[in-house]
Each structure stands twice: as C-alpha cells, then as structure tokens.
Homo-oligomer: A and B are copies of this chain.
Amino acid sequence: MTAQQVVRAVVAVPAVDRAPRAIGNLLRAADLPLEVEAVCSGDGIGLVLADGPHAGTVATLREAGVRFLACANTLSGRGLTADDLAEGVGVVPAAVWHLVRRQHEGWSFLPL
C-alpha cells in the first residue's frame, strides 16, 4: 500500500507512567522494520533525567534502537540543561514542532 519500507513513529511522552511499557509493546509487536523516536516534554522529562529512576529503562530501550529526545522548552522552564539528561538523549527546540515536522515527513504519531 506504500512504497516506504521502514515504518517510522514519533512518540509523544508527556508523562512517565505508561511510556516504558507502551514503547516496549510497540517494539515487540512490530512486524515491519520500525524506527522510533520518543519525545519527552512536561512531566515526561522525568523519563530521561540522568539521576532519575528510569535510567535503566531508557538504556535498555536505547539499546533496542529507540532515540530519546527532550524538549528544550521543558528543560528551560524547569531550570534544567542538557547536562541533566541521561547518556545519549538528544534535545529538540520544541516537542510540539518536532511532532508536527516528523508527521510532515511521513512518520506515524503515537501520543502516550
């Protein structure tokens, strides 16, 4: 139905609770090549803090290929910087724009 061979999904993570399990379910169920970005903003930023309780989860999902991104608007609003993020977590200027731009590029969108 589509010529695009790889499914790409940008996942909005506005809170921590459901995210790790939902992303795990997504990876396990995919029966096509799948690329995933998880964009953490608001309270979801707690998922990707270096000293947070979820560092192990994030490391495991990163090894499975998930790219984690933090919203710079959230970071500055909470007095945080990129130095507070777990290893390998990227930063986007605004989660809202990243989610819109990725869909424009053909990515699927999954809000958690």
A96 nearest in chain B by CB position: B26
Compute how far the CA of A20 lies from the CA of B68 in the bound complex, rounded to whole angstroms: 26
Q: Hey, what's the 0/1 contact readout for A94-112 against B, CB within 8 Å counting as 1?
A: 1011011101111011110
**Interface SS of chain A:** mixed
The answer on a CB contact under 8 Å between A104 and B25 is no
Specify how many copies of this chain sit in the oligomer: 3
Which residues on B sit within 8 Å (CB–CB) of A2? 104-106
Which residues on B sit within 8 Å (CB–CB) of A30? 97, 100
Measuring CB to CB, which residues of chain A are less than 8 angstroms from any residue of chain B? 1-2, 4, 7-9, 22, 25-26, 28-32, 34, 73, 93-94, 96-97, 99-101, 103-106, 108-111
